[in-house]
Amino acid sequence: MPGAPAKQADFFRAIAGAVPHDVARLYWYARVTLLGDVADLAAFDRVFEQWFGRGLGAALVVPPPVRDSEVRSPRDGAGRELPASDARPGSGIAASALATAGRRGFGRTDPRQRDLMRLLRDAWPANLPTLPSRRRRPSRSGRELDMRRTWQRARRNDGEIAELRWTTRPRRTRRLLLLVDVSGSLRQHTPELLRLAHAALRGVPERTEVFTFGTRLTRVTGALSGARVDRALHAVSGAVHDADGGTAIGAAMRRFLDNPRYLALARGALVVVISDGLERGDCTAMIRSTERLSRLAYRLIWWSPLACSPTYRPVTRGMAGVLRHLDHLGGVRDLASGLAEVGRIPSVAAGPRRSAHLRRE
Amino acid sequence: MDDEESLAVALSAAGYFADGGLLTAVHLALRLGRPLLLEGEPGVGKTELAAVLSRVLDRELIRLQCFEGLDSGQALYEWDYPKQLLRVRTAEARGEAIGDLYAEEFLLQRPLLRAVRSERGAVLLIDEIDRADNEFEAFLLEFLSDFQITVPELATLRARRTPVVVLTSNRTRELHDALRRRCLYHWIAFPDAQRERAILHAHVPGLAEEAAAELVRAVAEIRALPLLKRPGVAESIDWARGAAALVDGGSAWPTALRRALGLLIKDEEDTRLLDERAKEIFHHS
């Protein structure tokens, strides 16, 4: 628990000014001054409990709506965890609901991959959709008068306005949100797909967010954003515990949408889901979440390794249901096919919304 | 407002029912002169608290609504260029000296500066700080630690009376640690049943006792459902008002509650979910 000196000083000033009469008051004094984020509340309560009370914390704790980055393993209708016998990692056809595989390495980056990643690093920012910024900037070709600068010029000419200055709203890249499936059925593609995401983070830092999902949902933006790709992938393999395990796409997406902080990342963003869409069991949740995601996003693109094959038709129940909410369904299985699909983003952004099914039937 | 008890009395007289934690937070913010950062689900009364505080403390309420692209010209001050220009022109025409163009009369005061200059002290509400850019937070730091603003052409302006600063956030993005460190922090949870009843009584005059109890119970059950947007206190007040209006029009309470549901739930998907559960939730009615 971080307790910065400034916060500690606040706490001491608080109790020095008026000595709290009971533990409840002391609890609130400490919480208001020392706590900085509701996410730390559980830890704070534990520490407070250890120091000041036996069985007291339970009465005081207001349960926070903790919506953590990690997703619980899926439950059946009655709220029990699904039986472990369902766990059969590796096969995408019968993807299991429970992750069993753990940490996994993603190999070293070879020279061919490095070349492709360099191309991708330029391709990502060049092809992402943009929108006019709220903040005006000085510009020769602008349309709105820049009073401040015009006046500054005029002052040098004794108040004579000799030339006008203008401002414009420069275009700004929209946010990019990548949701990468790391379950067992994509096992052979995962290392390259994560490199694709790394190139996006390098090409459009600040505007890119990356999540992985299998049976859980993990935000890997931080882990993946280092400059050195192999080191970043190592960090990701430490953060992602459900790699090569089962799939629960619907549950993971639902979890994403339930968290208001994550939700805000999807709003108005270009959302790219990289997954084969092979959902285990009932796919209603996946379809409904996709529908919602599609409404939030500026454009929703789905990249599937299966779609690389020219004979592929999205006929599984899950993909068939998802398709009409998508703006584009593309085939991506490695860096090269990823580069090709990134180049297609502008035409997707220019086209009508939710038209993937028109092109794919 | 020397202790929490008198604060509680004053706030509830103004129609705001705070729980113990919030009272402590407000009390400490006033006593230590620290900004108060409030987080919580939408509609739990974060913004309302600032409005009520301004009434209770008899201070001016100054509101800064944050949005993406908010800059210092909109938050702090700006020089009134057209006015300066006019002054130059009239001085010229009359053959007078131009005088000082960077005097206070040419300063357009924006919310933060107004809070600093306020004569009787201000309650400054910096609303939805999470909507502003990261850079804006950095820019707030000087203001929040010293309550002063430097206008290079003029002077460094200090607050005459330390303003009471309330920041609210809906947690759509992470706030920077440096900002959190300067603030007292409180997470406002949904009110418990008793407090919510008190709130309804204060805001919906003429609400019958059983109706209020029924309403609060239903709202609590609805909040426990996996909704996209859980209804806040503001929504439950709207709902109670709507239902009360329908009852005045001749409806019975249970039907009025169900018919006014659109004031509580504002999402099509949530409405569908609620329709499925309507029997359980309204089984008492």
A33 contact B CB<8A: yes
Q: Using CA atoms of A33, A39, A40, A41 in order, give the dihedral in degrees to the nearest 10.
A: 70
Question: b or e along A101-110 (b: 16 or more beta carbons within 10 Å of the residue's beta carbon)?
Answer: beebebeebe
Write down the pLDDT at residue B250.
Answer: 85
CA atoms within 13 A on the CB side of B176: 13
Nearest to A32 among B85, B182, B185 (CB): B185
What does the alpha-carbon distance between residue A308 and residue A327 come to, in Å, rounded to a whole number?
A: 17
Nearest to A37 among B84, B98, B180 (CB): B180
- B69–chain A nearest CA distance, Å: 5
Q: Is the pLDDT of residue B197 over 80?
A: yes
What does the alpha-carbon distance between residue B62 and residue B57 come to, in Å, rounded to a whole number?
A: 13
**Contact across the interface for B31 and A62, Cβ inside 8 Å:** no
**Mean pLDDT on B219-224:** 90
Write down the pLDDT at residue A60.
Answer: 43
Nearest to B20 among A28, A37, A147 (CB): A28
Write down the pLDDT at residue B175.
Answer: 82
Q: Is the pLDDT of residue B234 over 70?
A: yes
CA A265 to chain centre: 7
Each residue's pLDDT tens digit, A165-209: 998 888 889 999 999 999 888 889 999 999 999 999 999 988 999
Query: Taking the model in full, what pTM does it have?
Result: 0.68
Mean pLDDT, chain B, whole residue set? 88
- The CATH class, in words, for A111-128+173-359 is alpha beta
- A78–chain B nearest CA distance, Å: 15
Residues near A265 by Cβ (< 8 Å), separated by ≥ 6? A175, A177, A209
Each residue's pLDDT tens digit, B120-168: 899 999 999 988 877 788 888 888 888 888 888 888 888 888 999 999 9
- Greater confidence, B34 or A245? B34
C-alpha closest to that of A118 among A344, A339, A282: A339
What ranges do the domains of chain A cover? 5-60, 111-128+173-359, 136-169
Q: Could you tell me which chain B residue has the CA closest to the CA of A267?
A: B172
Mean pLDDT, chain A, whole residue set? 82
A137 contact B CB<8A: no
Q: Could you tell me which chain B residue has the CA closest to the CA of A159?
A: B88
Write down the pLDDT at residue A3.
Answer: 64
Amino acid of residue B187: W
Residues of chain A with pLDDT under 70: 1-3, 53-103, 360-361
Q: How confident is the model at residue B1 (pLDDT cuts 50, 70, 90)?
A: low
Q: What is the largest CA-CA distance in chain B?
A: 84
Q: What is the ipTM of this complex?
A: 0.75
Burial class (CB in 10 A: 0-12, 13-18, 19+), B203: middle
| Interface mutation vs chain B, best among A28, A31, A68, A291, most B CBs within 10 Å | A28
Contacts of B39 in chain A (CB under 8 A): 38
Which run of H or of E encompasses A137? strand A137-138
